A and B are shown apart, each in its own frame.
Chain A
Amino acid sequence: MYSPEILLTAVLNGLMTGAVYALIAVGLTLVYGVLHIINFAHGATLTAAMFAVYVLHAAFGLDPYLAMAVTVPGFFALGYAVQRLVIGPASHGDDGNILLVTLGLAIIIENALLVVFRSDTRSIDVPYGFAVIEVGPLFLSLPRVIAVFVVLLVALLLWLFLARSTTGQAIRAVAKEKMGAALVGIDVGHIYAVTFGLGAACLAVAASLLMPTFLVNPRIGNAFVLVAFTIVVLGGMGSIPGALLGGLFIGVVESLSGLFMGESLGQIGIFLIFILVLLFRPTGLFGAKA
């Protein structure tokens, strides 16, 4: 019923949206894979990062992409500190408590942003916000094409970091066997905090990629949380390549099911796939053996 041109555009749209989902999911899966916690504050942290990009643009005219130079280290430090000083001590390593603490953090972040910025939905206007790349009959949004490449780059860097660097190896060791890692002298608390910081840094990048075409209000991050969880599971919890592929896959599924079933019911497509994957292949679609 749709022309090939429309279908192709829908797939490309899905890939471009999915890339950003993937980056948000990479942060989540990293934290999950190492700390084995489900971070309820992930969405609120993304919102905070988006406001950071907004403020840097509104107050200093800083371009959202250049803002990464400030927000990425900033959010890494913030994530590190929050894990070290709040989540770690308050949760006493108990799953239920971690849920509560991250939920508490989400409530604090969301409402602190409400206090400071009020409830308005804001966006930033950059000269290239409406720029397109014309490919035949298609108009591809320039900021969203940029997003795809940045996400691939970040995923590659992260993967290299985990595979090659000493800290990366320590992170993988802790992920695999916490006790063993501690026995060989790895500072588990430090590694946890580094991982959490990396997760937050991923969100800072995602925020910069979103802001040129998206908008921000104190609750906007929630829109991405459920879909990010879905991707984490699809990709296999803890797997970065899995999250990347899962993100792109979910983006396309969402796009096509939205096209054929309508945007509202189309959301069911995501959750049904999610349920089916969990029921029949809980290690995820893309490899990672549990």
Chain B
Amino acid sequence: MSALRPYRAILLALALLALLPVLFTTGTVRNFLIFTLIVALAAQGWNLLGGYGGQFSFGHASFFGTGAYAIAILQARAGLNPWLALPVAVALGALAGAVIGTLAFRARLRGSYFALVTLAFAEVLRIVANVLPITGGAAGTLIRLNVDPLNFQFADRAHFYWVTLVFLGAAMVLVRALERGRFGARLVAVRENEDAARALGVDVLRVKIVAITLSAAITAVAGCLYAQNFLYLDAAIAYGPWISVEALLAPIIGGLGTVFGPLIGALVLHGLGELTKVWIGALTGGSVPGIDLVLFGILLIATVGFAPRGILGLVARLRMLPA
């Protein structure tokens, strides 16, 4: 039992999340939850590198898109079963991470320089994916509709949700395990002070490359889930800046370098988005396009203003106040 102790909170949260589709049977909520969890998973990948390792990437689309395209192309062009394509796609995503990481970290890029180089890689991939025949070029890649659990397509959204939840849970457990292990300690040491870490004998380059590879693998899983849920990809969806931004926003909002940060951030971010959309929609009938997003932007800034250390940071601070 004690081996499970550090994971109790995660397992409890997962159990609660698993109950949600039972409580909420509408497609609206289930669809919202699926998409939010996919974002949370992509964000968990980002968090491993950005939150724990302090390396802010603006280009996690590279990994998300590689995973998504790989699983789609292996099915559409090679006829591979998606469950078999999944590990291949994740491996390819991880490889993209390893390559980009090796190049960038060997060149000792940090801070904004690292952020911008990852962004540039994602843009190059986006432009290339838009013209290559194998990705379907601008016409994109369509995964054939064939609803069958063996085919990674589910008639019931709840089933897809639970599958997504399993992957998210696995990523959270993995991150917790890393956090508690020596690797996590080294990674945090690199974040806090690279030179000091090096002086203590940490192989900084290796730690960073391992971190970006794992990070990319997790984000690639999110890409695979996106592809299986929507069954269509084009270059702007797979490699567009939107997912890079989503992946970094959620942990910052939720709490950088915490296991729950990405999940909480994604739920808050998308919850706010839906809330403003529904609320403004009820007021205006959707006749003033954009006004909901204005409100969303204001709430976003207010959230940061009130919770500069993320929502988990705010919770921690409130707890320390005398009751």
Q: Measuring CB to CB, which residues of chain A are less than 8 angstroms from any residue of chain B?
A: 32, 36, 38, 86, 89-92, 94-97, 99-101, 103-108, 110-112, 114-115, 118-119, 218, 226, 229-230, 233, 237, 264-265, 267-268, 271-272, 274-275, 278-280, 282
Please provide the chain B residues from 290 to 323 with a CB less than 8 Å away from any CB of chain A in the complex. Answer: 290-291, 293-294, 296-298, 300-302, 304-305, 308
Interface status of B234 (Cβ within 8 A of chain A): no
Q: Are B290 and A112 in contact (CB under 8 A)?
A: yes
Is the pair B107, A237 in contact by a Cβ cutoff of 8 Å?
no
A105 lies within 8 A of B124 (CB): no
B56 surroundings in chain A (CB, below 8 A): 95-96, 99
Q: Which of A95, A115, A264 contacts B130 (CB 8 A)?
A: A264
Contact mask for chain B residues 263-305; partner A; CB cutoff 8 A; 1 contact, 0 none: 0000000000000000000000000111101101110111011
Known A91-B304, A103-B249, A265-B127; further 15 A-B contacts with Cβ < 8 A = A32-B112, A92-B308, A96-B256, A108-B298, A110-B290, A111-B293, A115-B294, A229-B119, A268-B128, A271-B127, A272-B124, A275-B120, A275-B124, A278-B104, A278-B107
B294 contacts A233, C-beta separation under 8 Å? no
Closest 6 CB pairs of A and B: A114-B290, A108-B297, A107-B297, A111-B290, A90-B305, A104-B300
- In this complex, how many residues of chain B approach chain A with their Cβ under 8 Å: the count is 41
A-B contact pairs, 11 of them (CB 8 A): A36-B112, A38-B112, A90-B305, A91-B308, A99-B248, A103-B300, A108-B293, A112-B294, A114-B290, A218-B290, A282-B108
Instruction: Tell me, in angstroms, the Cα distance from A229 to B103 when the chains sit together.
Output: 20
Query: Contact between B248 and A271 (Cβ–Cβ < 8 Å)?
Result: no
Known interface pairs A115-B289, A282-B113; A104-B298 also in contact (CB < 8 Å): yes
With contacts A100-B300, A104-B304, A108-B294 taken as known, whether A233 is within 8 angstroms of B113 at the C-beta atoms is yes
Are A105 and B113 interface neighbours, CB within 8 A? no
CB contacts under 8 Å to A, within B152-167, are: none
Alpha-carbon distance A282/B245, docked complex (angstroms)? 24
Q: How far is the CB of B124 from chain A (nearest CB, A)?
A: 5
A78 → chain B, closest Cβ, in Å? 16
Contact string, B74-87, partner A, CB cutoff 8 A, digits 1/0?
00000000000000
Residues of chain B within 8 A of A110, CB atoms compared: 290, 293
From A89, which residue of chain B is reached at the shortest CB distance? B305
| A-side interface mostly | helix
Nearest-CB distance from A6 to chain B (Å)?
24
- Give residues in B with beta carbon < 8 Å to A: 56, 103-104, 107-109, 112-113, 115-117, 119-121, 123-124, 127-128, 130-131, 245, 248-249, 252-253, 256, 288-291, 293-294, 296-298, 300-302, 304-305, 308
Question: A115, B300: Cβ atoms under 8 Å?
Answer: no
Residue of B nearest to A229 (CB): B116
* Residues in A whose Cβ lies below 8 Å from that of B120: 230, 271, 274-275, 278
Beyond A108-B297, A237-B112, A265-B131, whether A100 also contacts B289 by CB under 8 A is no
| Contact call B288/A275, Cβ cutoff below 8 A | no
Determine whether the beta carbon of A38 is less than 8 Å from that of B109.
no
In the assembled complex, the CB of A83 is this many whole angstroms from the nearest CB of chain B, namely 13
Whether A96 and B128, one on each chain, are in contact in the complex, defined by CB atoms closer than 8 angstroms, is no
Q: Chain B residues with Cβ under 8 A from A100's Cβ?
A: 249, 252-253, 300-301, 304
CA distance A100 to B289 in the complex (A): 23
| Contact A226/B123 with A95-B56, A100-B249 known, Cβ cut-off 8 Å | yes
Q: If A38-B112, A95-B56, A115-B289 touch, does A271 touch B308 (CB 8 Å cutoff)? A: no
Residues of B within 8 A of A272 (CB): 124
Q: How far is the CB of A265 from chain B (nearest CB, A)?
A: 7
Q: Give the complex CA separation of A17 and B132 in angstroms.
A: 29
Known: A100-B252, A111-B291, A115-B291. A275 touches B117 (CB 8 A): yes
